[in-house]
Amino acid sequence: MTEELNEIKIIEIFRRNFGTRPHIFMGIKNPTGINEDAGVIRLGDKKLLVVTTDLIGKKTHCPPGMTPFQMGRKAVIVNISDLAAMGAEPLGLVFSVGLPKEISISDLDEIAKGMNFAAEKHNTCIFGGDVNRTDDIILAGTAIGITKEDSILLRCNAKEEDIVAVTGWIGGAALGLYCLKNQIELDHTLLKGILEPEARLSESLILTKLKAITSAGDITDGLAMELHKIGEASDKGFIIYEKQIPIKDEVKKLAKIHNIDPIQLALHVGEDFELILTINPKKWELVRKTCDEINLKITNIGKVTADKKIVMETEDGEIIPIKKRGYDQFLNNS
């Protein structure tokens, strides 16, 4: 019987077979590098080059109703979001683009416009790449950013008693994805999260300067998966409070109508592109005040623990484990 593959197993196979070099600051061969979404190269003088890559395919990553412009836009955002999670300022992006023979010139033009729109919004550009013929529209991007050794955000530095916080609202993009797949009408504002996600880049660069964040990630694969990645990288645990998870009332109401648990959407589906941060409790008020000044919603949802358990206190006061389960394209085929 063939062993079922998932993303973690695939990455582990590559990790076993790859090597490294002294100038690699963080990579797949580092003890905690397997939990990061980018590789990091030393440039000298404490400067670091952050390199991340991500791809989207029309058949596997684009929900029904996503326009070519939105697809191009999202292809850039998924890469920029990884830079945001590491506190790196983008220098530029390159793309390998796979196109089927039957794609129209107008659709390709819209994809290119969407890509450029997202890049310019984050004060960067797409400066090169490659084009090949494929059976699906494939947009594989590589984003390059820069930061310093004392500023980079990694998943491995969470400390006991740190506050766990998330930016914005979560769960809404997952609900939008469910509704699109099941042909359920949804208000445009609730669809924006899945069709037009936003990367928290400018906010990340501002917060990084406060020297208050101990670890960070983005919630593209679900809150639960991020908690486990940070927990494993930092050798710590978490307690999260269900009543403090920021889910909009309209998301809760619509989820209830369709017999869906909004907490499960937030924990295990993702697609929110918000940041999860662990923050030095002595600097929480500084972070909160700064977020108010830049009009960024930030919510304290729990704290870091030493016992390595990742649990949630429900609204009824019950302590339950949070399973390590999130979006995995090799397992989520529906």
Q: Over the chain, what HEC string results?
A: CCCCCCHHHHHHHHHHHCCCCCCEEECCCCCCHHHCCCEEEEEECCEEEEEEEEEEEHHHHCCCCCCHHHHHHHHHHHHHHHHHHCCCEEEEEEEEEEECCCCCHHHHHHHHHHHHHHHHHCCCCEEEEEEEECCCCEEEEEEEEEEECCCCCCCCCCCCCCEEEEECCCCHHHHHHHHHHCCCCCCHHHHHHHHCCCCCHHHHHHHHCCCCEEEEEECCCCHHHHHHHHHHHHCCEEEEEHHHCCCCHHHHHHHHHCCCCHHHHHHHCCCCCCEEEEECHHHHHHHHHHHHHCCCCEEEEEEEECCCCEEEECCCCCEEECCCCCCCCCCCCC
Per-residue pLDDT, 331? 43
Maximal C-alpha separation, the chain: 58
d(C-alpha 228, C-alpha 188), whole Å: 32
Residue 214 has pLDDT above 50, yes or no: yes
pTM of whole model > 0.95?
A: no
**Which band of pLDDT confidence, cut at 50, 70 and 90, is reported for residue 7?**
confident
Least confident of 125-129, 148-152, 322-326: 322-326
Selection from 71, 271, 244, 81 nearest residue 175 by Cα: 271
Write out the residue limits of the CATH 3.90.650.10 domain(s) in the chain.
163-321
Residue 5 has pLDDT above 90, yes or no: no
Token pair for residue 296? 């960024």
**Domain 7-148 class?**
alpha beta
Q: The domain 163-321: what is its CATH number?
A: 3.90.650.10
Per-residue pLDDT, 333? 42
Work out the percent of the chain whose per-residue pLDDT is above 90: 80
141-198 per-position pLDDT tens digit: 999 999 999 999 999 999 999 999 999 999 999 999 999 988 888 777 788 999 999 9
Least confident of 89-93, 280-284, 327-331: 327-331
Q: What are phi and psi of 119, to 5 degrees?
A: -65, -45
39-98 per-position pLDDT tens digit: 999 999 999 999 999 999 999 889 888 999 999 999 999 999 999 999 999 999 999 999
Per-residue pLDDT, 183? 87
Specify the higher pLDDT residue, 125 or 185.
125
